[in-house]
Structures are given as C-alpha cells and as structure tokens.
C-alpha cells in the first residue's frame, strides 16, 4: 500500500515537473509575439535618407526594426486592412503615410492593393513580402502605380500612371523602387486570369472601373491629408 502511494506521488511530481517545463519553454515564444500598437501620430524615422513612415489609422505589429535604412515590420495590421506577415519600406527625401493594404480575389479593385500618400519628390522602396508567384510572372498579371494629386493653380484632379522601367521597377527580391510624385499613390496588381465571359459587364470590365474607383478613393485620402495639414497649421 505504501509502495502504491509512493508511486502515485512520484507520478504526480513528474507531471508537475513536465507541465512546468512546458510552460517555461512556451513563455519565450509568447514574449516574442508581443503585439505592439501604433497610431496616426507615431512616426518611424529614417534619419540617414531623410525620410519618415507613418500610418493614417491605428494598427499593430509584433516587431518593427530599422535595418539598412529600411523599416521592417512583422505581422503588420492596419485597421480595416489585410495582414502583412513581412513588410519592408524605405523613404528617401520623402514622407510616406500608409492608408491600407488589400489582398483577395475582388477583381473590381485589383486583387492586391497598397494605398499611401507621399509628400516630397524622393524615392520609395516597398517590399510586400509576397511569394514569387504573386509577382508579375505571366501575361495575365500586371502591376500598376497610379499617383493622384491636385494642381496648384486649380483644384483639378491630376492622374499620373507611372511608367514601369522609368518611374518604377520591380527587383528580383520582390522590392518595388518607385520614383514617386507627391500625392496619393496606389500600387495595385490586376489579375486578368480572373476574368470570365459569363460574368456581368461590370466584372468583365473591372480594370477600367477599378481605375475610376481607385482615383476616387485616393482623392478622398488626399483631401483628408490636406484638411489635416490645414488644421494643424491653424493650431500652430
């Protein structure tokens, strides 16, 4: 009987030790995945290249580091947007305000889209951390960069489709180098293989419709930035 009780105690002690070891081993992982929050007032500065990165909305990430003048975000989530497991961004002589990221089969807006506002005439380097198959590897897929702005003399919308090879290019490592113009910028991928002759008219012509809708969206973003700037100037 005593031997049986001792065996039960030994088994119980072993279970407690094993549970303690399991908790101890899992604890560093939970600390590594600590979620950090950010808001519109927070800036991620890049002093060497005279650039800043900020966000229009609240969001979270698990890690953010400045590596070789590039901000590297892990598990980035902007409120109302899709998650970015790995996102790298650098700004040279310019300031970037990120608005949203979308990724899905919604052909009316392109199946992948990053929207942001640029101030300054510098360069931006953006890496969405995508798989190689997500880039332009076939004729059915096409990346486009569009900048929307207001003319200085008249409040008239000005649309600029940046030329691949001249205004922007895609490197082998998946980074986009964009010699951007000031204004509201949309980096978007259209996948024409999603088309179907049996679809309604608005889906068959989704690229043309998406362009118009994208312009409207980025103009709203630009106006909001302009109003915020005026408000801040008034407070000063």
Query: In the chain, where are the structural domains located?
Result: 1-32, 36-235
Which conformational region is residue 102 in: left (phi greater than 0), alpha (psi within -120 to 50 degrees), or beta?
beta
- Residue 221's pLDDT is 62
Tokens at 57, concatenated: 């909305």
Tokens 């980074």, residue located = 175
pLDDT at residue 14 greater than cutoff 50:
no
Q: For 59-91, give one letter per residue: b (16+ CB within 10 A) or e.
A: bebeeeeeeeebbbbbbbbbeebeebeebbbbb
The candidate with the shortest Cα–Cα distance to 89, out of 116, 128, 130, is 128
Q: Kindly report the number of other CB atoms within 10 A of residue 137's CB atom.
A: 9
Could you give the percent of the chain with pLDDT greater than 90?
41
Write out pLDDT tens, residues 32-88: 579 999 999 999 999 999 999 999 999 999 999 999 999 999 999 999 999 999 999
Q: What pLDDT is recorded for position 182?
A: 86
Tokens of 180: 């951007």
For residue 202, what pLDDT is reported?
42
- The 10 Å Cβ neighbour count of residue 131 is 7
Query: Is residue 8's pLDDT more than 50?
Result: no
30-40 confidence digits (pLDDT tens): 445 799 999 99
Pairwise CA distance, residues 91 & 68, whole Å: 12
Supply the mean pLDDT for the chain. Answer: 75
| Per-residue model confidence as pLDDT tens digits over 87-112 | 999 999 999 999 999 987 654 556 78
pLDDT score of 163: 87
Q: What is the mean pLDDT of residues 104-126?
A: 82
- Residue 214 three-state SS: helix
Assess whether pLDDT exceeds 70 at residue 7.
Answer: no
Residue-level pLDDT at 42: 95
User: Encoding tokens for residue 140?
Assistant: 């059915």
Q: What is the pLDDT of residue 131?
A: 77
Map tokens 């897929």 to a residue. 141
């Amino acid at each position: 009987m005593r031997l049986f009780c001792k065996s039960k105690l030994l088994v119980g002690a072993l279970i407690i030790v094993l549970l303690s070891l399991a908790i101890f081993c899992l604890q560093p992982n939970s600390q590594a995945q600590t979620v950090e929050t950010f808001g519109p007032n927070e800036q991620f500065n890049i002093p060497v290249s005279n650039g800043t990165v900020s966000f229009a909305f609240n969001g979270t990430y698990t890690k953010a580091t400045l590596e070789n003048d590039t901000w590297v975000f892990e598990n980035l989530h902007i409120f109302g947007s899709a998650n970015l497991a790995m996102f790298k961004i650098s700004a040279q002589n310019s300031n970037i305000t990120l608005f949203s990221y979308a990724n899905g089969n919604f052909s009316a807006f392109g199946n992948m889209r990053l929207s942001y506002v640029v101030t300054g005439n510098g360069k931006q380097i953006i890496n969405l951390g995508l798989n190689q198959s997500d880039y332009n590897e076939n004729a059915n897929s096409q990346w486009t960069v569009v900048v929307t702005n207001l003319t200085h003399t008249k409040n008239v919308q000005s649309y600029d489709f940046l030329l691949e090879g001249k205004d922007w290019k895609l490197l082998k490592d998946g980074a986009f180098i964009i010699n951007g113009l000031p204004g509201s910028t949309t980096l978007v991928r259209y996948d024409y293989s999603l088309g179907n002759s049996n679809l309604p008219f608005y889906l068959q012509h989704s690229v043309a419709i998406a362009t118009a809708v994208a312009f409207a969206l980025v103009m709203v973003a630009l106006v909001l930035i302009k109003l915020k700037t005026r408000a801040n100037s008034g407070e000063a």
